């Protein structure tokens, strides 16, 4: 299998970098003429899922969907192929870490994520979501994209300070992705919106609730809804009273408290209406009265964080 990827498609797999869901992701080299070499990521559908039409269709649907999502805050897909009846896709390689690892580095140092970087990260995710949610097909119809799996593992942070959303494997989109909303729960329990937990039909506001959970987790160091079981976690998402976040962390000021309370409203009609609106509020918080965080500053912070942990 792996040799076929090299001989047929000029991809040389170097190492496994992630495993989960229905795919395994490898760091790889794409080889070309005159010594050309480009580092890419190869996502290969798991062998046990490759024979199941539902999973094959979702894998292909993700590739077809993301191929046209060209945005700096979304991981790009370059190529969809098949080898020995298993689909694979070649994707942008992000050298760095995922958000779960970023949080763990802070736990290892025994320090919280600075407020400005927590808000900055979520604002960059919202930039990607605002673009995806508003994407049209060639006929001008809204694709109705909802990611439905915005989690720390699906947010990548590059060493250059870029923040990128990945894994649209369970996203829903017009005519592209298999979708049984109303019958199954799509997403990871700890980052579901209330409507996902209730198996309701979703729109982009579901992704915003997930962003709210992540923002609160970055600020508090833990997911305030997560419990010992999936069922209890879902019950917390539906019913657990929201804390006063500023009482749990003193440098959460009143404007940020208001943002958190609004984005985590259970009735979606009371949340921010769109990812663009939420993005605008976050960026106003970051930049309204001073020169705020940038990718370059974030890269310096990441370098300092990783260096102090390892050193």
CATH number for position 302: 1.10.510.10
- The catalytic position among 137, 149, 253, 284 is 149
Q: Which of 92, 126, 144 is the last residue of a domain?
A: 92
pLDDT of 311 over the 50 cut = no
pLDDT of 289 over the 70 cut = yes
96-98 vs 77-83, strand pairing mode: unpaired
Place of tokens 């600020």: 219
Question: For the segment 66-85, what is each residue's pLDDT rounded down to a tens digit?
Answer: 999 999 999 999 999 988 88
Measured at the alpha carbon of residue 168, what is the angle toward residues 164 and 171, in degrees to the nearest 5? 135
For residue 287, the model assigns a pLDDT of 95
- Rank 10-19, 31-40, 158-167 by mean pLDDT and report only the highest: 158-167
Q: How far apart are the first and last CA of the chain?
A: 40
Asked if 83 and 157 sit in the same domain, the reply is no
Instruction: List phi, psi (to 5°) of 61.
Output: -60, -40
Tokens, residue 124: 């960059």
Handedness of CA 23, 28, 31, 36 (dihedral sign): positive
Strands (E), 139-289: 155-158, 163-165
For residue 47, the model assigns a pLDDT of 82
Confidence of residue 171 (pLDDT cuts 50, 70, 90): confident
Asked if 105 and 34 sit in the same domain, the reply is no
Distance (Å, rounded) from C-alpha 277 to C-alpha 297?
A: 25
Greater pLDDT, 169 or 44: 44
pLDDT of 248 over the 70 cut = yes
For residue 205, the model assigns a pLDDT of 97
Confidence of residue 50 (pLDDT cuts 50, 70, 90): confident
Q: CB–CB of 279/130 below 8 Å?
A: yes
Handedness of CA 147, 218, 258, 213 (dihedral sign): positive
Asked if 137 and 210 sit in the same domain, the reply is yes
Q: Which of 92, 125, 146 is the last residue of a domain?
A: 92
Domain residues for the domain of 287 are 96-310
Strands (E), 159-260: 163-165
Asked if 55 and 129 sit in the same domain, the reply is no
Comparing CA positions, the residue from 147, 187, 143 lying closest to residue 167 is 147
Region 123-150: what's the mean pLDDT? 94
pLDDT of 2 over the 70 cut = no
Asked if 69 and 126 sit in the same domain, the reply is no
Question: What single-letter DSSP state applies at residue 141?
Answer: -
Which DSSP string corresponds to 23-52?
EEEEEEEEE-GGG-EEEEEEEEE-HHHHT-
User: What's this model's pTM, rounded to 2 decimal places?
Assistant: 0.93
Active-site residue, 149 included: yes
Tokens, residue 182: 């109303």
For residue 4, the model assigns a pLDDT of 56
For residue 48, the model assigns a pLDDT of 82
pLDDT of 309 over the 50 cut = no
Q: Which of 45, 74, 92 is the last residue of a domain?
A: 92
pLDDT of 294 over the 60 cut = yes
Asked if 302 and 227 sit in the same domain, the reply is yes
How many domains does the chain divide into?
2
Asked if 201 and 303 sit in the same domain, the reply is yes
Asked if 244 and 256 sit in the same domain, the reply is yes
Instruction: Calculate what percentage of the chain has a pLDDT beyond 90.
Output: 68
**Overall residue count recorded for the chain in this entry:** 311
Confidence of residue 178 (pLDDT cuts 50, 70, 90): low
């Amino acid at each position: 299998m792996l040799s076929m990827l090299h001989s047929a498609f000029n991809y040389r797999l170097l190492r496994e970098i992630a495993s989960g869901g229905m795919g395994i992701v490898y760091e790889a080299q794409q080889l070309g003429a005159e010594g050309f070499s480009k580092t890419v990521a190869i996502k290969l559908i798991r062998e046990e899922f490759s024979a199941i039409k539902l999973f094959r269709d979702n894998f292909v649907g993700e590739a077809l969907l993301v191929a046209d999502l060209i945005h700096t805050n979304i991981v790009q897909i370059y190529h969809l192929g098949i080898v020995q009846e298993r689909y694979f896709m070649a994707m942008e390689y992000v050298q760095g870490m995922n958000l779960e690892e970023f949080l763990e580095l802070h736990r290892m140092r025994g320090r919280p994520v600075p407020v400005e970087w927590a808000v900055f990260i979520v604002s960059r995710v919202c930039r990607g979501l605002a673009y995806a949610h508003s994407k049209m097909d060639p006929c001008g119809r809204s694709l109705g994209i909802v990611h439905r799996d915005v989690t720390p593992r699906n947010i990548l942070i590059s060493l250059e300070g870029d923040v990128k959303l990945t894994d649209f494997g369970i996203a829903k989109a017009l005519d592209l992705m298999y979708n049984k909303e109303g019958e199954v729960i799509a997403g990871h329990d700890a980052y579901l919106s209330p409507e996902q937990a209730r198996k309701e039909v979703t729109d982009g506001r579901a992704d915003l609730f997930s962003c709210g959970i992540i923002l609160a987790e970055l600020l508090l160091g833990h997911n305030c809804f997560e419990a010992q079981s999936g069922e209890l976690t879902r019950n917390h998402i539906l019913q657990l009273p929201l804390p006063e976040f500023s009482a749990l962390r003193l440098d959460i000021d009143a404007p940020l408290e208001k943002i958190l309370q609004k984005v985590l409203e259970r009735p979606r009609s009371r949340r921010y209406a769109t990812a663009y609106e939420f993005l605008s509020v976050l960026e106003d918080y970051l930049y309204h009265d001073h020169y705020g965080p940038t990718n370059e500053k974030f890269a310096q912070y990441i370098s300092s964080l990783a260096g102090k942990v390892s050193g």
